[in-house]
Structure formats: structure tokens, C-alpha cells
Chains A and B, each alone.
Chain A
Amino acid sequence: MTLRGTLRTAERLLRQLRHDRRTIALVLLVPSLLLTVVYYMYEQHPAVFDRIALIMLGVFPFIIMLLLTSVAMLRERTSGTLERLLTTPVRKLDLLFGYGLAFGLAATLQAVVTTTYAYLVLGMDTAGPAWSVVLIAVCNAVLGMALGLLCSAFARTEFQAVQFMPLVASPQILLCGLFVPPEAMASWLEGLSTLFPLTWSVDALMQVGSSAEITAEVWRDIGIVLGVVALALALGAATLRRRTA
């Protein structure tokens, strides 16, 4: 890895985002809008809102970064810019870390905006500190990014890339504990849910919701998510081929 390649790639991606004001607005504002809807849905049950809002704070960045990255990387593959990049001194890891840095930064901004809104405007209440919510949200964003990079290798068109979203995201969202805690599911589903990284980050968020201290379990959960990120990035790097047929 070279610092230059990573930083230049990240800077370039942020410049591309900057020219796309609508995407910036969608990334920053849509989660708060949806949380507002959830707030009024559970107006009579503030405790339920607290639980759901907390989980959604983790799920939004995952979904959005999965979509953004898989489409951005697919464009890079189909437009020939990836091939061109790989003929320059840029390393594959520079590219991956550049994506991680740029979209991680965007995700942090999103998490800060949405979390602030949830606490201050919607009155969300957690036993643990707000920064840990942001931290977990950013880990989820990086997870979405890493899986998105990998998915882009298996799609040939943007239509296909978008279809990976239900395939990769919805089983995780269904089983992560947003609707029913995994313990309450059929045991085979509970077993399946432990294979999904999102389940672990939602577990971490639940811990933050219920205990004032950052428990060891939270760190374990974050460790698991980052482990999956590393695995997905390694697999993603293997799909970046300098030579093609």
C-alpha cells in the first residue's frame, strides 16, 4: 500500500461525490426522514421507538454504502477506468483503502447527522454513549462498502448490481434482530443469523441501548464485523485483475 495512491483515490471519490449534490442530500437526509416516520409510527410506544431507531441507525449506513460502492465500483470496471488505474503505479490495496477512506468519511458524516437528529430532535434514549452508536454505524458503513466492492465483481450492469441489494442485504436485515430478536426465531434461523455480520453489529447496538458501560461484548461484536470486512476486502482485491481476456 502507498499513502499517495490511497489518499489520491479517496480525494478523487470525494470530488466525484461533490459534483453529485443530489446523492449527498439523499445520503445525509433520507435516514433522518425515515427515522421521523418511525417516530410517528410508534408515538404511543417510546421504548419500542428507542429500540427500532437504534437498530436503524446501524442498518442505514450499511444499505447506503452497499449500494453506493457496488455501483461506483461497477462503473469503474465497465468504463475502463479500473483497467487504466491498474496500468498506473496504483496498488490494488490503495484502491480498496481509498474507497474505504472516502466512503467511510461520508458514512461518518451521515452517522453524525442522523444520530444527532435521533437524540436531539426525536428524543431517542440509550443507556450507553452516543459516540459508540456512531462508531458502530461507521463500522456498518465500512461493512456495506466492503461487500459492495465484492458484489461489483459479480454484476455486469448497474441493473444487476442493484439486484444484489435485496440478495445481500435483505436476509441480513430480516434476521439481524430488527423485527424479532434472534433468540426468538426458529433455531435454524437463529443459527443462520449468527453467520451474518449485521446480526453482530445489531447486538452491539442493543448492548449500547441497555448498558451505560461499553461491554466486552460490544468490542467482540465490532471485532467480528471488522473481521468480515477484512475478509470481504481480501476477496474483493482478488477480483481486481490486471490482465483480462
Chain B
Amino acid sequence: MSVDIRDLVVDRGHREVLHGISAHLPAGEITGILGPSGSGKTTLLRAVVGVQLVRSGSVMVLGVPAGAPELRHRVGYVAQSPSVYPDLTVTENVRFFAALQGHGPEAADRAMAAAGLDGVRRQLTADLSGGQLSRTSLACAMVGDPQVLVLDEPTVGQDPVLREELWSWFRSLAEQGRTLLVSSHVMDEANRCDRLLLVRDGSVLAHDTPSAVKASAGTEDLDEAFLRLIRRTSGEVA
């Protein structure tokens, strides 16, 4: 198992926001994390990267605890809000993060090309459009060629063509044996994942392949399947 989450409990702001989540993510697959806003997707991803203080439970990544020093050049993280330097150009940003990982300008060039940034390389990051900005953040995470990629809503604000390109990039990375953990709000992206982790209010609703999720909800439409699963669990509680 590439990422192994066990009984993860996380408090944020004096409130428990993840209530004992367990999940196993195999290498070579894209796992999609879906759930309503505020359900704890970002918190879960932060725990996998090792930047989140956790109350209990464990997160193992590539066999060592999340956040361990030996993971720092093997895990790439794209936070939900683009974290790059607005007063540097795109190239300067990507080259900086490449250099920190011990890679030269060629690696930065490849990451920028893959993220569709060739046209804006010399532009100041502050002057980019929203979609370009988040792709710059993506390129900065990809540049070190990490084994595990944790992407928090990487396709928000991208047009359909770019989204298609980004997903085929993710797919090729998975085919090379990398592990991808991608959060999203968009159900048509969920269909592109090998496995889904449906989260609601800090608990796992379902963890299965898209087709199995659809089958268990008895519908071909993932949006509808998600709604049905939510209703079913609320019904159980009520």
C-alpha cells in the first residue's frame, strides 16, 4: 500500500472534523476524494502530506509516517489556494521549487510544458488568470517528479480542454506507478478516477471504484449516486 490511513481523527478549531477515517490507496492509481464543501477533504489531504496536526490514528506514506523527512522529495502537494510567489515570474517560481529538490531548469521546463504554461512563462505570477495561477502551483509541485501526488482541487477554474489535458497528464503519471490523491467537486472528474473516497461530515460514505459506487446506489449517474448515498446514511441516522 502506498498510502495507508488508519482511524484518523483530526480536530480543527476545537472541533472534531475527521472522525476516524481509514483508507488504503494503492500505487499506480488515482483516488478521487469527493464530498460537500466543509466535509474535510482538505484536512484529509493535509494529513497525508504531513502538515496537519492530528489527534489520533496514523497515516503511513510509502511505508513511513506522513511528513517524515525522507518523504520530502517524494511527495508533491498542491494546496487548495495557489501557494506561489506573486512577485516572481512563472519560470522563476517553478525553477526555484525545482532547485530546492535538486533539479535543474530542464525539469522546470518540462513541468511548465506539461501544465500548459508555455505561453505565460515570463509573466509575473501576480498577473496570471486564476486557472493559470493554479497551474503554476501545480507545476511547482510536479517539478520534483514525486512518487505520491496530493492535489487539492487542481482543476478548479480550468476550461474543458485544459481539464482534459490535465487529467490525461494525471493518468500518465498513475500509469508510471505513482499514487495520486485528487480532491474535486466535479462529478464528471470522479468518473476518471480508479477509486473514489466519498466523504461527508468527516466520515467515509463510500470507498470503491466509480462503477461499484454507482452499482451500490442503483444509478448510472454519479451525481445522483452520491445524493442517494448521502440520503441513505442520513436515513440510517434518523
Binding site for B on A (CB under 8 A): 4-5, 8, 11-12, 15-16, 19-20, 79-81, 83-90, 242-245
Binds A, one of B95-103, B158-166, B188-196, B203-211: B95-103
CB distance from A112 to the nearest CB of B (A): 25
Cβ contact within 8 Å between B85 and A243 = no
A245: B residues at CB distance < 8 A: 11-13, 52-53
Do the beta carbons of A243 and B52 come within 8 Å of each other?
yes
Q: Are B53 and A12 in contact (CB under 8 A)?
A: no
**Cβ B85 vs Cβ A12 within 8 A:** yes
Chain B nearest CB: distance from A100 CB in Å?
18
B-side interface residues, number (CB < 8 Å): 34
**Nearest chain B residue, comparing its CB with the CB of A94:** B100
Residue contact B53 to A88, C-beta cutoff 8 Å: no
B12-A8 in contact (CB<8A):
no
Interface flag for B87 (CB, 8 Å): yes
Q: How far is the CA of A87 from the CA of B101 in the complex (A)?
A: 11
Q: How far is the CA of A74 from the CA of B45 in the complex (A)?
A: 24
Nearest CB of chain A from residue B205's CB, rounded to whole Å:
25
Q: Which of A4, A19, A85 has the most B CB atoms < 10 Å from its CB? A: A19
Q: Which of A5, A12, A84 contacts B83 (CB 8 A)?
A: A84
Smallest Cβ distance from A15 to chain B, in angstroms?
A: 6
Q: Write the B76-95 contact mask toward A (1 if CB under 8 angstroms, else 0).
A: 01010111111110001000
Residues A84 and B12 in contact, CB atoms below 8 Å apart: no
Partner of B100, one of A8, A19, A20, A243: A8
- Residues of B with C-beta under 8 A to A8: 96, 99-100
